[in-house]
Amino acid sequence: MELSSLFLNSWLVKNWKITLAALLVIASVNFVRYITKLQRYTKIFKFSKHRKTLLDGEEYVCADFNSKGNKRAHNDTTPNISYVPALKVDKHVIFNGATVTLPGGPKQFYELANNRRSVRSYSAKRIPPFELIEECIRAASTAPSGAHTEPWTFCVISDPNIKQHVREIIETEEEMNYAQRMHRQWTADLTPLRTNHIKPYLTDAPYLILVFKQIYGFLPNGERKQHYYNEISVAIATGILLCALQAAGLNSLVTTPLNCGLALRRLLARPENEKLLLLLPVGYAADDCVVPDLKRKALEEIMHIY
Ligand SMILES: Cc1cc2nc3c(=O)[nH]c(=O)nc-3n(C[C@H](O)[C@H](O)[C@H](O)COP(=O)(O)O)c2cc1C
């Protein structure tokens, strides 16, 4: 008796019109959400039935640069003479497997990789020979790439005037990035690393390597050429570059200057198909260089055995 009178006298029942309206709004929002989700999955399903690929997030879908069209019957694998491979391969040759190895094996490589730290303070006096940089970029160029498109360009700057210009571009943008563009959580997450918009390493480091991804290339006849998975390919090449620099006893830092791509591309007169992916200052750590005392995840945390 008491419970039912409590219920009948409750705010929700007394204001039943508002309660009903609120419930209707919640139900409609959920309904719209459900339908949108359903539509998305139906689209993915239709697409995957056609291409035999189930998209998990965003994956590469070929662009039709040359307007040749891509219509074909389901499962049609017959060669089409209007498509010529961009890559010319005369023959396949015998490969004897990995014959060049480190004397200390992967343990030695781990020691080398684990010795790498992001350096934000460089000696302006100790200048590594340019040949070392060349060798490291040569190593990076061995990276695998989507359909062997090698979609990378490495620009090496040692000219103090150009470095100064790069610094001005980046510091101006980074001031705005830190103050306005980046989410407060982002800038908060960076405080332990003590980074800010002032970047003396851009002029102190003897070299700046700007890594561009070529989002497409060109065929000898001037037509555009597909660069599949170009960002992944360039990121792998940069990983090799970092290891090579470490092996050469050099220090570096991976940076992603937000909103500076266009200005830096124009400064270096790079073509439109090249987009700045990363900028690496390279040199020797300054005598008073400090790095955050970071811990790396344990093997058990990152590896799952099946
Ligand atoms: C994709 C990527 C972007 C990064 N961007 C910046 C950056 O813009 N500025 C910076 O000072 N460090 C940057 N870093 C460096 C990271 O902060 C650093 O790798 C991380 O704190 C781990 O430290 P460690 O490299 O010494 O192991 C970046 C690293 C990566 C992989």
Which atom in ligand 1 lies closest to the alpha carbon of residue 257?
A: 8
Closest C-alpha to ligand 1, atom 30: 254
Does the structure show a pLDDT above 80 at 41?
A: no
What are 142-162's pLDDT values in tens digits? 999 999 999 999 999 999 999
Average pLDDT, the chain: 91
Burial tier of 195 (Cβ tally within 10 Å: 0-12, 13-18, 19+):
middle
| Beta strand 207-214 pairing with 216-218 | unpaired
Does the structure show a pLDDT above 80 at 8?
A: no
The ipTM (two decimal places) reads 0.99
Closest C-alpha to ligand 1, atom 31: 254
**Is the distance from the beta carbon of residue 117 to the nearest atom of ligand 1 less than 6 Å?**
yes
Closest CA to 281 of 158, 144, 97, 184: 158
pLDDT of the residue at 126: 98
Dihedral (Cα; 126, 205, 162, 159), 10-degree rounding = 20
List, edge to edge, every strand of the sheet that includes 207-214.
152-157, 207-214, 274-283, 251-252
Which atom in ligand 1 lies closest to the alpha carbon of residue 190?
A: 17
Burial tier of 234 (Cβ tally within 10 Å: 0-12, 13-18, 19+):
buried
Place of tokens 């093997």: 299
**Is the distance from the beta carbon of residue 36 to the nearest atom of ligand 1 less than 6 Å?**
no
Which atom in ligand 1 lies closest to the alpha carbon of residue 256?
A: 8
* CA 83–ligand 1 middle distance (angstroms): 42
Mutate to test the pocket of ligand 1, among 252, 256, 294 (most ligand atoms within 8 A of CB): 256
**CB contact at 8 A, 263 and 170:** no
Q: What is the distance, to the nearest Å, from the Cα of residue 121 to the centroid of all Cα atoms in its chain? A: 24
Q: What is the mean pLDDT of residues 27-55?
A: 71
**Is the distance from the beta carbon of residue 255 to the nearest atom of ligand 1 less than 6 Å?**
yes
**Is the distance from the beta carbon of residue 120 to the nearest atom of ligand 1 less than 6 Å?**
yes
Q: What is the mean pLDDT of residues 106-116?
A: 98
Q: Count Cβ atoms below 10 Å from residue 150 Cβ, excluding itself.
A: 19
**Is the distance from the beta carbon of residue 296 to the nearest atom of ligand 1 less than 6 Å?**
no
Given pLDDT bands bounded at 50, 70 and 90, which one contains residue 15? confident
Closest C-alpha to ligand 1, atom 27: 117
Closest C-alpha to ligand 1, atom 18: 118
Lookup: tokens for 23: 């419930």
Q: What percent of the chain has pLDDT over 70?
A: 87
| Beta strand 224-226 pairing with 216-218 | antiparallel
**Is the distance from the beta carbon of residue 182 to the nearest atom of ligand 1 less than 6 Å?**
no
Closest CA to 153 of 275, 283, 259: 275
Q: What is the distance, to the nearest Å, from the Cα of residue 276 to the centroid of all Cα atoms in its chain? A: 10
* CA 123–ligand 1 middle distance (angstroms): 19
**Is the distance from the beta carbon of residue 101 to the nearest atom of ligand 1 less than 6 Å?**
no
Closest CA to 228 of 97, 83, 82, 59: 59
Mutate to test the pocket of ligand 1, among 112, 191, 254, 259 (most ligand atoms within 8 A of CB): 254
Higher pLDDT, 19 or 277: 277
**Is the distance from the beta carbon of residue 193 to the nearest atom of ligand 1 less than 6 Å?**
yes
